Structure formats: C-alpha cells, structure tokens
C-alpha cells in the first residue's frame, strides 16, 4: 500500500508569459505524490485571488488557511540556467495550529517553505514517528524592498534538523554559505545535495554516495528539486535503500523539467518505463 503523504508550505503563483501558473514546493510535492499513487494532503495559506478549484489539484485534500495575500514569485533564468527570483507578495506563516488534528499521523511529512513561512515548532506536530523530510530553501532566502531574492544563513536550522530524518537541498540553496553543509550533516541522519542536471550526493554516517542525473532536454527547471525530494522520500520510505531512492528520484525529476511548470509531473507508470536498472 502506498504511503500517506503530507506537504506543508505555501501554494503560490509563479509569473508566466500569459499570467500566473500554479507553483510552490507544497503544490509540486502534492502533485508528484499523487502521480506516484499516494494518498495526499497539503496544508497551506493563500489569499482570495488563489483558485482553489484548480483542476490540477483534484484529488489532493487541502487545508487552506486564509491570508491577506497569495505568495507570488517571478523566476527569471539566464542562458546558463542560473535563476534570479523576485517576490511580490507573501502569504501568512504556518504553524502547528494550522495542521488538523486528524492529519498528524501520516507516513511521510514534507516541510517545504518557500518564503520562510513554516514555523520551526511545526516539526514537533506529528505522532507515530513519520518519515520527516525537509527542503529548506524558504528559510535560506531574504528579499529587499524591490522583491529581489538573496541567500541568507539558515538561522534556525538547529531548532529543526535534529527532529528531521532527511534534509534535501541544492547547491543553489547553499548560495554564498557552502560551509553550512558540514553543520547540517552533523544535525540530521541523511543529507542529499542536488546539483542540477549533473548529479546528487547523499551524506550518511560519514560516507558519501554519488548518483548521476538522467540525461534529458531541459525546458523549465522550476520545481524540479521538490519533485526530486518527494520521489526520494516516497521511495526511501518504501525501500529504505538510498541508492534505489536516488535513482528513482532522478527519474521522476527528469520528466518534470521537460515541460513548463507542473505540466510534466509523471505518473508511476511513466516512471517505470524510464527507470534505469
């Protein structure tokens, strides 16, 4: 039976040439988990302008919390794939009080802030020892008055990571603080560092495991890290095999970058057709 999956973070709007499209780590994760056959729930905060009836979110049980605004990102990429982000609106924060009592015993919890919105204490909200995974990008961002996003130190990592099973982050997340990786490795049992279209490195018990990405033609890398993280958590929960989970996650993410936004998040059948042995 597939594991139950809960994502916590902002559903947002990403700026696109023709308007807004669905974005946010929690949304990418929920769509990925649904595609892989898992029962899915999400906890988020959005404003009145967010389309809660979006058919893309069908089948995902969502606890929407009212906010004055919906988080809005403008992701701009240069010819080398480097991203500069602009943030024009931010929804309210999410804490333990926002997680329904009957939702607190999933198999997998994915805490995935995009603008610092997940409160540190929320990591203590779950019983029955679920597998807790984190992508910290939202805690590692700051922005100026124009909305331009810059990296910052993850100040409350020590309040969260000791109560977490798996940390998944990218070399972009580390930004100008690459030395922080060593501190994270000391605080959490498994750390996975993704490096775009190249590979991923898994750190556990003093050892390092390298896993190459799948060669594909990239159209849009937005959300790929969240798709990877979700697939890794689900497969690792099922197999407890780090090499197998890395391979599976690379495969799932390879589909996601072949289209714009969430348009190419795959089904489990599609993944099995491409999965390398």
Average pLDDT of each block of 10 consecutive residues along the chain (277 residues)?
96 90 96 98 98 95 98 84 86 98 97 98 93 97 93 94 97 87 96 92 96 91 93 98 97 94 93 91
Tally Cβ neighbours within 10 Å of residue 34: 20
Looking at residue 221, what is its pLDDT? 84
Distance (Å, whole) CA 156 – CA 140: 10
pLDDT given for residue 211 in this prediction: 96
- β-partners of residue 75 are 85
Do the strands 199-204 and 83-89 form a parallel or antiparallel pair, or are they unpaired? Answer: unpaired
Q: Is 5-274 CATH 3.40.1190.20?
A: yes
Q: Where are the domains of the chain?
A: 5-274
Query: How many Cβ atoms are within 10 Å of 206's Cβ, its own excluded?
Result: 6
pLDDT number for residue 196: 84
Residue 127's pLDDT is 84
With a threshold of 0.75, does the pTM exceed it? Answer: yes
* Contact yes or no for 59/40 (Cβ under 8 A): yes
Whole-number Cα distances in Å, 175 to 23, 150, 151, 181: 22, 9, 6, 11
Please give the Cα distance from 68 to 72 (Å, whole number): 13
């Amino acid at each position: 039976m597939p594991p139950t999956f809960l994502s916590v973070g902002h559903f947002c709007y990403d700026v696109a040439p023709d308007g807004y499209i669905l974005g946010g780590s929690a949304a990418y994760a929920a769509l990925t988990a649904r595609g892989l056959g898992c029962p899915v729930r999400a906890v988020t905060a959005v404003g009145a302008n967010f389309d809660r009836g979006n058919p893309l979110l069908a089948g995902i049980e969502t606890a929407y919390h009212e906010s004055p605004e919906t988080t809005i990102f403008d992701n701009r990429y240069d010819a080398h794939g480097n991203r500069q982000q602009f943030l024009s609106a931010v929804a309210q924060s999410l804490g333990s009080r926002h997680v329904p009592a009957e939702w607190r015993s999933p198999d997998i919890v994915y805490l995935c802030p995009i603008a610092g919105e997940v409160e540190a204490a929320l990591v203590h909200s779950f019983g029955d020892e679920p597998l807790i995974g984190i992508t910290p990008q939202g805690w590692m961002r700051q922005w100026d008055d124009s909305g331009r996003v810059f990296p910052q130190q993850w100040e409350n990592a020590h309040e969260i990571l000791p109560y977490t099973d798996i940390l998944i982050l990218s070399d972009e997340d580390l930004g100008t603080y690459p030395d922080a990786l060593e501190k994270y490795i000391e605080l959490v049992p498994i750390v996975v560092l993704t490096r775009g279209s190249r590979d991923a490195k898994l750190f556990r018990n003093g050892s390092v495991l390298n896993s190459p990405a799948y060669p594909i033609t990239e159209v849009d890398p937005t959300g790929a890290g969240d798709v990877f993280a979700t697939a890794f958590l689900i497969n690792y929960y099922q197999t407890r095999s780090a090499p197998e989970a890395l391979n599976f996650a690379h495969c799932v993410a390879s589909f996601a970058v072949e289209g714009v936004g969430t348009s190419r998040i795959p089904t489990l059948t599609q993944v099995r057709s491409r999965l390398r042995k």
